Amino acid sequence: ETGVTQTPRHLVMGMTNKKSLKCEQHLGHNAMYWYKQSAKKPLELMFVYNFKEQTENNSVPSRFSPECPNSSHLFLHLHTLQPEDSALYLCASSQVWPGIEAFFGQGTRLTVV
Amino acid sequence: QKEVEQNSGPLSVPEGAIASLNCTYSDRGSQSFFWYRQYSGKSPELIMSIYSNGDKEDGRFTAQLNKASQYVSLLIRDSQPSDSATYLCAFMNYGGSQGNLIFGKGTKLSVKP
């Protein structure tokens, strides 16, 4: 069982759809993160949760809505996305925030059509 | 805007050679620096961290940090085809977004047998 698990691995959705990405970590960490990785761009931090509390919203559009019900689970709810939102969405966790070593999940490859 | 600059490559080296990956960063106050390796279609994996000026060695990997020049590098000795991946440089931003990792775009390394 990997440390950080993301589902689904691939997702194709229309611009009017609503979908959710799920992340689960089995490392006993207290901080979880959502990152966006687009082609030819650096990894962009989207959200940070520390002990279930959101500590960072990096100017992310409201069509992305995170949810952290407990320290082990993190969701990213998606609605009315745009084609430019197509990217690899990576979840990560660390022991605490600020965290030195972040462990990443395998990512969800999202395509918006 | 705090940034990390990396040559996107691809950097091609023959098997057994030394691969040298370079990175510059804009935040003079940064204290922590990291190298992540990302295989195609996989998530980033932390391979080296360095916090003080000088060299840090771990097996075939050596990280070098020069804070005065705002420069960090990664040397891979005896390069193997399995080292072919994208290498992401990152630093910890302790400024306004306290304690978050800032990533570069990555350098793609190809080790030819």
Over the stretch A74-100, which tens digit does the pLDDT of each residue have? Answer: 999 999 999 999 999 999 999 888 777
Select from B98, B100, B106 the Cβ nearest to the Cβ of A45.
B100
Q: Which residues pair with B55 in a beta bridge?
A: B64
pLDDT, average across residues B31-53: 91
Residue A6: band (very low, low, confident or very high) from pLDDT cuts 50, 70, 90:
very high
Interface A–B counts its CB contacts (< 8 A) at 47
Residue B99: band (very low, low, confident or very high) from pLDDT cuts 50, 70, 90:
low
Distance separating alpha carbons of residues B34 and A30, to the nearest angstrom: 21
pLDDT > 60? residue B95: no
pLDDT, position B98: 59
Best residue of B36, B38, B43 to probe chain A, by most A CBs closer than 10 Å:
B43
Measured torsion, CA atoms of residues B23, B35, B107, B25, in degrees rounded to the nearest 10: -20
Residue B101: band (very low, low, confident or very high) from pLDDT cuts 50, 70, 90:
confident
Under an 8 A CB cutoff, do B44 and A43 touch? yes
Contact A75, A67 (CB under 8 A): yes
Residue B18: other Cβ atoms inside 10 A:
12
Select from A97, A104, A106 the Cβ nearest to the Cβ of B99.
A97
Can you give the C-alpha Rg of chain A in angstroms? 13
- Locate the chain A residue with the closest alpha carbon to B101: A45
pLDDT, position B30: 75
Smallest CA-to-CA distance from A13 within A64, A74, A69 is with A64
pLDDT, average across residues B69-84: 96
Interstrand relation of B4-6 and B54-58 (parallel, antiparallel or unpaired): unpaired
Contact B38, B106 (CB under 8 A): yes
pLDDT, average across residues B32-49: 92
pLDDT, position B1: 63
Task: Determine the 3-state secondary structure of B82 from DSSP.
Answer: helix
